Amino acid sequence: MEANRNEAFAACSRFASELEAYLEGESRPFIASHSRDCMSCGAMLADLLSIQRAARDLPLEEPSHMVWTNVRARLEAEGAFGIPPCTQFGEELEAYLEGESRPFIISHSQDCATCANLLADLQSIRQAARELPLEEPSRVVWANVRARLEAEGAFGTPVSGWRQLLARRVFPHAIPVGVLALLVLLGSVLTLPSNSMYRWDTSNEVAGSPAGAQMASAMPAAEDGALVRVVSDLESNFKASEASMAPDLKATYEKSLVSLDGSIRECLDSLQHEPGNTLAHDYLLTAYTRKAEILSSALEFEGR
Amino acid sequence: MIRTIVSLKSVRHILRPLVLMLLSAAVIWAADEGRLEKTFDTTREPRVSLNSLKGIVIVRGWDRAQVHVVYVVASPRVEVDSEILPDKVHFDTHLLDAALPSNQQAVDYTLDVPAGATLEIRNPQGKILVQGMQADASVQSVGADISIRDYSGHLMVHSIAGDIDVIRTSGNVEAYSVTGNLHFVSPLTTRLHGSTTSGRILYEGDFMERGDYILSDYSGDVDIVCPASASYTLSAKTLKGKVINTMPMTHRRESASPLGTSNSLLGTHNTGKATVELTSFSGTIRIHPQY
């Protein structure tokens, strides 16, 4: 008796579990056979089939605009229309790499292998970049930058402490941006082919002065000609501003410049007699570099 | 007006040093003869910078996380601005009157700073003395002497016309002058570059193992006085001067151009553990034992 009841319960349970599939059109022979054996399940099936038929006969009604609005609002609230995760990852990645807290980057990289690989690659590049040695640009580069800035009036006339302070606070990036632009310019100039650079040097103001012309003939490298031109620019600026320098400071600079000019002349003479003399060539370059530094220093202190 | 140009943060940054500056000015003239003495709390490795014009600057390292400053201004028309933050201390000297006589432009500074502080000192016409520091330093003058003692950080020293003394340093040293003399005493550094145009270079001390020493002069003499136990490989070259060596050398190679316009000496003393490169255009290079 008990066994029969359990058998009947199991059959009704199976009927319930297969009913939905049957009503959706799947072949479920058990539904037809059980509905014949079980009065209760047979009645339920008959009701559902009649509802299904009646529903099919109903006219098609377009839901009101309000229904669609509500549906959309629900879906939006559930995040169905959010930015695709990989797009969001791309948008937040830069900020994350710059140190901002972006938890989504971590969580998404755990779920998405492609984005995780991208993140790992960028992190390893960044790590490698951190481990690169810091290279100090040569003094010639700084002297060149200084000369160009000076020529463009970047150092101007001395201003009061208040104005200096305001300028430093309000426009803190003007000089670095200028220096960056000039470095790009300098890089372009120094990467010109040597032949064209040499022609450029000798056809300009370098050839205009006797020492410049002598230097150009003694030192064929393009960079050397560029250095002479820098020194020439700096010297012009120094001469234009030396009237406003403190007399004792000016005397110190002039004495040093005289000493360097003497060594430049002597080196040039040596190179005239012995063009392959590397020691004289090295000293000549050093003297020009030192002269550029001193003129830069003079122009800097003059402005204080 | 300012508020329309800069953010509130910028204004705060501007006002903070200004308030300090005004307070400083008030304190200066309340004190005797323009003297100010003050102590600030800092980190153990702050960045300390000082721009002066004239006068003596003394900087000493100590083991406290504080900066103690004493400065004396020669005239009320010379102003000292200061910016004090835990990791950055800056003093800037400027004239309120451009026509101020030269002898009244001086400010004498004495600073005690954490030994780990990074230094940037510029004093165009005044002496600079720095001692007992451990971090990097840039020290510049135009016409005055610079003396650095007991320093273990990376040192860059420039004085266009002043003499430079570098005594008992153990970090990398770069020292440049044009007409000034360079004097190195008992360096423990493994990388030393010194250059002057017309001054003299005097090096007194040993050379460290795997050390790299480059000394270059134009018209001045270069003198090396080192112990007999020193171990180095020497390259000495002069175009118009002489090379005089009284140290015993092995693998010695000496040369002079046929015209007698160039002299050089290449060789090894003891086992050649350090590299020493000496050049002069027209000066004399001497290498002597230390007694």
What residues in B contact A166, CB-CB < 8 Å? Answer: 2, 14
Asked if B187 and B67 sit in the same domain, the reply is no
Number of domains in chain A: 3
Q: Within a domain: residue A71?
A: no
Asked if A248 and A121 sit in the same domain, the reply is no
Last residue of a domain, one of B67, B83, B114: B114
At residue B7, does pLDDT exceed 50? no
Q: Within a domain: residue A168?
A: yes
**Pairing mode, strands B137-141 and B66-73:** unpaired
Asked if A156 and A123 sit in the same domain, the reply is no
Asked if A209 and A273 sit in the same domain, the reply is yes
pLDDT reported for residue B223:
97
DSSP class of B130? E
pLDDT reported for residue B190:
92
Kindly determine whether residue A259 and residue B53, on different chains, have CB atoms separated by under 8 Å: no
b/e burial code for range B238-259 (CB count within 10 A of at least 16 → b): bbbbebebebebeeeeeeeeee
* Host domain of residue B261: 136-291
Among candidates A161, A256, A267 on the partner chain, residue whose Cβ is nearest the Cβ of B178: A256
Q: Which residue has the tokens 């300390």?
A: B48
Asked if A147 and A14 sit in the same domain, the reply is no
What residues in B contact A290, CB-CB < 8 Å? Answer: 176, 178, 197
Asked if A296 and A252 sit in the same domain, the reply is yes
b/e burial code for range A63-83 (CB count within 10 A of at least 16 → b): eeeeeeeeeeeeeeeeeeeee
Kindly determine whether residue B81 and residue A263, on different chains, have CB atoms separated by under 8 Å: no
At residue B19, does pLDDT exceed 80? no
Asked if A201 and A189 sit in the same domain, the reply is yes
Asked if B161 and B244 sit in the same domain, the reply is yes
**Residues across chain A:** 304
Averaged pLDDT, A106-124 = 89
Task: State the ipTM, two decimals.
Answer: 0.77
Lowest-confidence region among A74-78, A288-292, B194-198 = A74-78
Q: Within a domain: residue A70?
A: no
Q: Within a domain: residue A72?
A: no
Interface mutation vs chain B, best among A256, A267, A300, most B CBs within 10 Å:
A256
At residue B206, does pLDDT exceed 90? yes
Q: Within a domain: residue B119?
A: no
* Host domain of residue A93: 82-135
Asked if B153 and B205 sit in the same domain, the reply is yes
Residue A123 in tokens: 């992190």
At residue A171, does pLDDT exceed 50? no
CB A111 within 8 A of CB A85: yes
Among candidates A169, A249, A283 on the partner chain, residue whose Cβ is nearest the Cβ of B281: A283
Asked if A16 and A157 sit in the same domain, the reply is no
Last residue of a domain, one of A97, A115, A135: A135
Averaged pLDDT, A129-145 = 70
Q: Within a domain: residue B27?
A: yes
**What are the φ/ψ torsions at residue B179 (nearest 5 degrees)?**
-110, 0
What residues in B contact A277, CB-CB < 8 Å? Answer: 239, 262
pLDDT reported for residue A2:
74
Kindly determine whether residue A301 and residue B281, on different chains, have CB atoms separated by under 8 Å: no
Asked if B72 and B148 sit in the same domain, the reply is no
B216: nearest CA partner in chain A: A283
What residues in B contact A294, CB-CB < 8 Å? Answer: 160, 178
Asked if B29 and B90 sit in the same domain, the reply is yes
Asked if A104 and A207 sit in the same domain, the reply is no
pLDDT reported for residue A236:
85
For the question of whether the overall pTM of this predicted structure is more than 0.80, the answer is no
Asked if A19 and A117 sit in the same domain, the reply is no
Q: Within a domain: residue A261?
A: yes
Last residue of a domain, one of B84, B114, B144: B114
Q: Within a domain: residue B55?
A: yes
Q: Does A158 touch chain B (CB under 8 A)?
A: yes
Asked if B55 and B160 sit in the same domain, the reply is no
Q: Within a domain: residue B121?
A: no
At residue A81, does pLDDT exceed 80? no
Asked if A295 and A162 sit in the same domain, the reply is yes
Asked if B143 and B185 sit in the same domain, the reply is yes
pLDDT reported for residue A247:
83
Kindly determine whether residue A248 and residue B198, on different chains, have CB atoms separated by under 8 Å: no
Question: How close is the nearest chain B Cα to the Cα of A202, in Å?
Answer: 28
Asked if A146 and A230 sit in the same domain, the reply is yes
Question: How far is the C-alpha of A72 from the C-alpha of A29, rounded, in Å?
Answer: 40
Instruction: Assign B93 a pLDDT band (cuts: 50, 70, 90).
Output: very high
Kindly determine whether residue B10 and residue A170, on different chains, have CB atoms separated by under 8 Å: yes
- pLDDT tens-digit readout, B245-269: 999 988 677 665 544 445 889 999 9
Instruction: Assign A216 a pLDDT band (cuts: 50, 70, 90).
Output: low
Asked if B142 and B259 sit in the same domain, the reply is yes
Helix (H) or strand (E) holding A289: helix A278-302
Asked if A178 and A119 sit in the same domain, the reply is no
Residue B153 in tokens: 């950080």
Kindly determine whether residue A297 and residue B160, on different chains, have CB atoms separated by under 8 Å: yes
Q: Within a domain: residue B131?
A: no
Last residue of a domain, one of B114, B144, B164: B114
Q: Does B172 touch chain A (CB under 8 A)?
A: no
b/e burial code for range A127-163 (CB count within 10 A of at least 16 → b): eeeeeeeeeeeebbbbbbbbbbbbeeeebeeeeeeee
What residues in B contact A255, CB-CB < 8 Å? Answer: 161, 179
Question: How far is the C-alpha of A46 from the C-alpha of A152, rounded, in Å?
Answer: 95
CB pairs under 8 A between A and B: 86
Q: Which amino acid is at B282?
A: S
Kindly determine whether residue A246 and residue B102, on different chains, have CB atoms separated by under 8 Å: yes
pLDDT reported for residue B178:
94
What residues in A contact B219, CB-CB < 8 Å? Answer: 263
Asked if B174 and B39 sit in the same domain, the reply is no
CB B177 within 8 A of CB B160: yes
What residues in B contact A169, CB-CB < 8 Å? Answer: 6, 10, 13-14
Kindly determine whether residue A255 and residue B282, on different chains, have CB atoms separated by under 8 Å: no
Asked if B267 and B198 sit in the same domain, the reply is yes
Q: Does B198 touch chain A (CB under 8 A)?
A: yes
Q: Does B170 touch chain A (CB under 8 A)?
A: no
Q: Within a domain: residue B129?
A: no
Number of domains in chain B: 2
Kindly determine whether residue A259 and residue B178, on different chains, have CB atoms separated by under 8 Å: yes
CB B80 within 8 A of CB B38: no
pLDDT reported for residue B176:
94
CB B34 within 8 A of CB B43: no
What residues in A contact B282, CB-CB < 8 Å? Answer: 266
Burial class for B191, CB neighbours closer than 10 Å (0-12, 13-18, 19+): middle
Q: Does A269 touch chain B (CB under 8 A)?
A: no
Q: Within a domain: residue A182?
A: yes
Q: Does A275 touch chain B (CB under 8 A)?
A: no
pLDDT reported for residue A27:
84
Asked if B110 and B29 sit in the same domain, the reply is yes
Q: Within a domain: residue B122?
A: no
